[in-house]
Structure 1
Amino acid sequence: MQVAAITTNFGQGSTQTTGKGTDLLISGDGFFMVQSGNETLYTRAGAFEFDSNGRLVGPNGEMVQGWNAVDGVVQRGGQLESIQLPYGVINPAAATQSATVTGALPAGSAEGTELVRTIDVYDAAGNELTLTLRMTAQADGNWAVDASTGDPATAYTGTLAFTGSALTAGGAFTVAGIDVDLGAVTTFPKLSTISIAEQDGNAAGTLESYSIANDGSILGMFSNGEQQVLGQVAVATFINPAGLEKAGGSTYRASVNSGAATVGAPGTDGRGGLQTGALEMSNVDLSQEFTNLIVAQRGFQANARIITTSDEVLQELSNLKR
């Protein structure tokens, strides 16, 4: 009796939720790529963490492979490299170029009624300024508007003209280099919902936290409220994963039988997507394995009885001769 073959079961295992942001599970086909010394290995064990150098590593220090972003852009399909958080990176300041005003001004307001709205905006150096809109009701039902960021030289004065509740003139102007859009402003009797809804500038910010998405993208959150892609984890698939050779520590290496790895982003071209905060557990069904063990044991017992019976028959034949 001898073992016919040993094969590895790469079927999907059960899911164990951990809540840890760097624990990754592949939902479907594929393997994480890790660099161990000068060798690229493959694994489905996603118990990763960032080390003191910001590198995403496995339990034994293997470096997870993928693509690091440059200015928030990932070149998928480019040269693979070890995933590394850019500690100390600065999300650059961006000057405010536009602001949007929405809502309703109170129709029928007494002449001289004044409404003031403000929003923080930014110059090219990331310095915070305050954009102030001062709107004053006129006798004819229109509204005078004064806008400024504190510098009289760049202030704006104009009129918001209405026909009924619809804005017909003055719905756009520029103040201190900021294009202000009031095109959605209306009037409504005794109701004021006017507000400066948004602006597109920001101060400079430092990296505060990160998260990993289902497609392997690592998203950085900065102190200025901005978000930026920092990198993306790669996933490899094989024509014949059963042909992979064991390398120890739940890792495998490619072989002639497995074929070359096909590398891409999670969730593309048949590759499984990622689940963050979870790990893939054993895919062994213990109850089935115990059943198989009992069946094998009974088979062995039956064969042993055959040998015993055969020996007894031969013994009887020997006795007959005597």
Structure 2
Amino acid sequence: MSFFTSLSGLKAAQTDLNVVSNNVANSNSTGFKKSRALFGDLFAAAPTQSTKTVAGQGVRLTGIAQQFTQGTLQATDKTLDLAIAGDGFFSVKGQPPRQDLNFTRNGAFSVNSNREVVDTTGAKAQLLPVDANGVITSNAIGDMYDFVLPDTDPADPAALLSNISINKEGVVSATFSNGNQMNIGAIAMASFTAVEGLRPVGDAHWQATGDSGPPQVNQAANGPLGQVRSGALELANVDITEELVSLIAAQRNFQANAQAIETSNTLTQTIINLQV
């Protein structure tokens, strides 16, 4: 039995090493959230057996939990580089035909050939409609629309777009060559009841699940969503020093379980030799 107990320990240590290695590998990934492996003990006994005389049977992986703590904000001075000072997520929609709705903390947005504002995966940033004062008029998911930069002033086709600004509430304002200003919309932000239940899909993107609950969409600076910081990006929330300590601990755990298997093998071989 000690072979299987130590084997479960080896597998647990290997999983822990994999999780820590993934954290270290993504220490420079924008918007990345580190993870932590969670373990539980295995125990079994017959109904009539005293548990005081039964040893545990090893360890099992109970889950890998993501840590959605705030990462450091780094200034970039690029208007479409957005960071979130809070717990919200940017809402982005994939390209056709799927157009799946994802949520991300990676605010490295840029403009494509269709003047659509997209993230590093090509997913389109989503806006909520606003009034002249920059207050949203609807927070329904069905009312979100793609963030597209206008070519000209709708009231004056001869006036070209000259500047874009995004305030802390996520309101996108366009300034044209004739001096006119227009609110294009507000960055669609989302929060979740159980953020740990989100399903990661890579590139610092997540999708809603039954465990996370449906997205609660609103304008920035409402509830837990936090504020938008234009001209900045959120770095990974990975502390290299902390991860190296965890790496050493996982390595020692692996070595200890390997030594336990070797010791059990030696004892078994000794017993076999005695019987011979």
**Fold in common (TM above 0.5):** yes
What's 1:123 paired with? none
CA distance in 1, matches of 2:112, 2:79: 14
Any conservation in 1 of the 2:129–2:137 contact (CA below 8 Å)? Answer: no
The reply to whether residue 230 of structure 1 matches residue 184 of structure 2 is yes
Residues of 2 paired with 1:250 and 1:293: CA distance? 23
Partner of 1:252: 206
Corresponding position of 2:30: none
Task: State the match for 1:168 in structure 2.
Answer: none
Distance 2:258 2:114 in 1: 61
The answer for the alignment partner of 1:297 in structure 2 is: 251
For 1:35, give the aligned amino acid. Answer: K
Q: Which has a greater percent of strand?
A: 1
Q: 1:80 aligns with which of 144, 155, 162?
A: 144
**C-alpha distance in structure 2 between counterparts of 1:205 and 1:72, whole Å:** 22
Taking the aligned partners of 2:252 and 2:70, their CA distance within structure 1 comes to 30
- Counterparts in 2 of 1:244 and 1:283: CA distance versus 1, 3 Å: same
Would the aligned equivalents of 1:50 and 1:56 in 2 still touch at CA under 8 Å?
yes
SS at match of 1:283: coil
Measured against aligned partners, the alpha-carbon deviations of 1:52-109 in whole angstroms (never above 9, x if no partner) come to: 33321112221111125577766432511112222212456xxxxxxxxxxxxxxxxx
Report the 3-state secondary structure (helix = DSSP H, G, I; strand = E; otherwise coil) of the residue aligned with 1:305. Answer: helix
Structure 1 residue 21, shift from structure 2 partner: 0.8
3-state SS, counterpart of residue 65 of structure 2: coil
Report what 2:16 is aligned to: none
- The structure carrying a bigger helix percent of its residues is 2
Judged with a 3 Å threshold, the aligned counterparts in structure 2 of structure 1 residues 71 and 309 are, in CA distance, closer, same or farther, namely closer
SS class of match (2:151): coil
Residues 90, 207 of structure 1: 8 Å contact kept: no
Tell me, yes or no, if the aligned pair for 2:152 and 2:159 is still in contact at 8 Å. Answer: no
Identify the match of residue 112 of structure 2 among 51, 56, 81: 51
Distance 1:75 1:235 in 2: 12
Deviation string 1:274-294 (CA, Å, 9 cap, x unpaired) is 111111111122221221121
How much does 1:249 deviate? Answer: 2.7
Count, aligned residues: 211
Contact 1:67 1:82 in 2 (8 A): no
Correspondence 1:265 to 2:219: yes
Aligned-partner SS, 1:270:
helix
Aligned residue among 102, 106, 114 for 1:41: 102
What corresponds to 1:275 in structure 2? 229
Are residues 56 and 74 of structure 1, via their aligned partners in 2, closer, same or farther at CA, if it must alter by over 3 Å? farther
In structure 2, C-alpha distance between the alignment counterparts of 1:307 and 1:284, rounded to whole Å: 34
Q: Hey, what does 1:133 align to over in structure 2?
A: none
Unaligned runs of 5+ in 2: 1-7, 12-60
- Structure 2 residue corresponding to 1:23, chosen from 81, 101, 122: 81
Superposition deviation, residue 4 in structure 1: 3.1
Give the distance between the partners of 1:55 and 1:288, measured in 2 at CA: 40
Question: Is the Cα contact below 8 Å between 1:218 and 1:229 reproduced in 2?
Answer: yes
The TM-score, its normalising length taken from structure 1, stands at: 0.59
Partner Cα distance (1:88, 1:72) in 2:
21
Q: Are 2:125 and 1:64 equivalent residues in the alignment?
A: yes
Q: How far apart, in 1, do the equivalents of 2:110 and 2:275 lie?
A: 78
Separation in structure 2 between the aligned mates of residue 241 and residue 58 of structure 1, nearest angstrom: 21
Pairing partner for 2:174 from 206, 220, 224: 220
Asked if 1 retains the 8 angstrom alpha-carbon contact of 2:103 and 2:206, the reply is yes
| Structure 1: segments with no counterpart, 5+ residues | 93-203
Q: RMSD of aligned C-alpha atoms?
A: 2.4
AA in 2 matched with 1:290: L
Asked if the contact 1:24/1:279 (under 8 Å) is kept, the reply is: yes
Q: Distance in 2 between matches of 1:307 and 1:228?
A: 70
Q: Percent identity?
A: 36
Counterpart residue number, 1:89: 153
Give the drift of 1:11.
1.5
Q: 1:214 to 1:86 in 2, by over 3 A?
A: same
Alpha-carbon separation, structure 1, partners of 2:240 and 2:64: 18
Largest Rg, 1 or 2: 1
Paired with 1:304 and 1:71, the residues of 2 have a C-alpha distance of 67
**2:67 alignment partner AA:** N
